[in-house]
Amino acid sequence: MSRIYNFSAGPAVLPEEVLKEAAEEMLDYKGTGMSVMEMSHRSKAFEGILFDAEKTLRELMKVPDNYKILFVQGGGSTQFAMVPLNLMKNKVADYIKTGQWSKKAISEAKIYGKVNVIASSEDKNFSYIPDVKNLKISDDADYVYICHNETVHGLKYHDIPSTGDKVLVADMSSDFLSEPVDVSKYGIIFAGAQKNVGPAGVVIVIIREDLITDDVMPLTPTMLKYKTHADDNSLYNTPPAYGIYICGKVFNWVKEKGGLDDMKKINEEKAAILYDFLDSSKLFKGTVEKKDRSLMNVPFVTASKELDAKFISESKAAGFDNLKGHRTVGGMRASIYNAMPIEGVKALVQFMKKFEEENTL
């Protein structure tokens, strides 16, 4: 058995310790004689798994008591609809457009109401986060929406917009648990698990209690009401049980690593290794303004598409997989989530140096 360095944007690398533990428990979870995949979601054993996962997450993120944590399905993409369906009372919302994922959220919200794009970085191909200090927020907006880390374009908010008494909603799919977050600044935080915290199929929603109501848009499906899941503690229907189990293990792993302050430190150290090299390289360069660079997704290019293609194929042969950029933007992208060891980043930079020497005159 040999594992390679996997730079996939998602589904993505998970901590080896977590995978090993899950393998050990695969046939017999703690004396139940069955796999977590095979057990009733109403069983004592699974109730314990769900309870512990929520408890550890609450602890890690210091989630205030007036927030609920929900585990739902449908991917991050279903949240693009759930947010407007549940929060649009005036049928107006303000969105900040910073890349592919906020763009998709905007298109979806437009089905349900009026969307004001109050800031955008589309003019420069989403290579920066617009100034959000003095945003003009619409008086009638039901909420303000951001994508906290744009997975495809590789940028993140280092400061979040102050929205006054307006609810702030954030998609944190690709940087969830990568650093401490002041949950009280948000009305809703959601994250698809498959980027930084678990397998595909689980979405984590952290929602302020006053936003959980029956006052949703007419025709909202029962399954798309936050209240449905909140009232039954994520057990209204069969939840993504095995995925929640793995997420719980990842939460414990993060805790053992020292929690979110330490996670941030390690992530900054890892990202700096790669960005410092990109800034000094004659061949490679980063595509995002320095101040807005993501700690998780690092896009970069060479001088030509041909060299990009050569790099992608040679890096794969050398044991660095999934470095091809998103199909819509090209180039390369190294996703260096929590579970990517620092050795992986160092080895990648070594390989890039060698490639540079071989391919510059």
**Least distance from C-beta 46 to ligand PLP, angstroms?**
23
Our answer to whether residue 103 is catalytic in this structure is: no
Q: How far from 345 is each of 141, 143, 276, CA to CA, in Å?
A: 42, 38, 12
- What the block records as the tokens of 269 is 């150290």
- Please give the size of the binding site for ligand PLP, defined by CB under 6 A: 12
Q: Is 10 in the site for ligand PLP (CB under 6 A)?
A: yes
Q: Is 195 in the site for ligand PLP (CB under 6 A)?
A: yes
Phi-psi label, residue 341: left if phi above 0, alpha if psi -120 to 50, beta otherwise? beta
> d(Cα 284, Cα 74) in Å, to the nearest integer?
37
Give yes or no for residue 113 binding ligand PLP (CB under 6 A): no
- Verify binding: residue 87, ligand PLP, rule CB under 6 A: no
Distance CA 47, CA 1 (A): 34
Q: Pairing relation of β-strands 167-171 and 188-192?
A: parallel
- The residue annotated as part of the active site, out of 97, 166, 195, 324, is 195
Structure token pair of residue 297: 């997704």
Interface pick for ligand PLP out of 174, 294, 315, 322 (rule CB under 6 A): 174
Q: Which residue is nearest to ligand PLP (CB)?
A: 75
Instruction: Tell me: does residue 130 bind ligand PLP (CB under 6 A).
Output: no
Which of 39, 53, 119, 147 contacts ligand PLP by CB under 6 A? Answer: 147
253 is catalytic: no
Residue 73 touching ligand PLP (CB under 6 A): no
- N-to-C CA span, the chain: 39
Q: Which stretch binds ligand PLP (CB under 6 A): 28-36, 75-83, 85-93, 210-218?
A: 75-83
Q: Which of 32, 35, 43, 77 binds ligand PLP (CB under 6 A)?
A: 77
Question: Minimum distance between the CB of residue 81 and ligand PLP, rounded to whole angstroms?
Answer: 11
Residue of 68, 94, 156, 171 marked catalytic: 171
Q: Is 214 a catalytic residue?
A: no
Q: 101 or 277, CB closer to ligand PLP?
A: 101
Check the CA dihedral 307-309-311-314 and report its sign.
negative
Residue closer to ligand PLP (CB basis): 10 or 240: 10
DSSP letter for each residue of 126-162: T-SPPP-TT----TT-SEEEEESEETTTTEE-SSPPP
The answer to whether residues 291 and 158 touch, using CB atoms and an 8 Å cutoff, is yes
List, in sequence order, the alpha helices (H) in 161-285: 226-231, 241-256, 260-280
Residue 261 CA to residue 180 CA, distance in Å, equals 6
**Among 5, 53, 56, 76, which residue interacts with ligand PLP (rule: CB under 6 A)?**
76
Report the distance separating Cα 316 and Cα 323, nearest Å.
Answer: 8
Identified binder of ligand PLP from the candidate list 6, 56, 127, 151, rule CB under 6 A: 151
171 binding ligand PLP? (CB under 6 A): yes
Q: Which of 240, 229, 171 is nearest to 202 (CA)?
A: 240
Q: Which is nearer to ligand PLP, 173 or 228 (by Cβ)?
A: 173
The residues binding ligand PLP (CB under 6 A) are 10, 75-77, 101, 147, 151, 171, 173-174, 192, 195
Which residues are catalytic, by number? 101, 171, 195
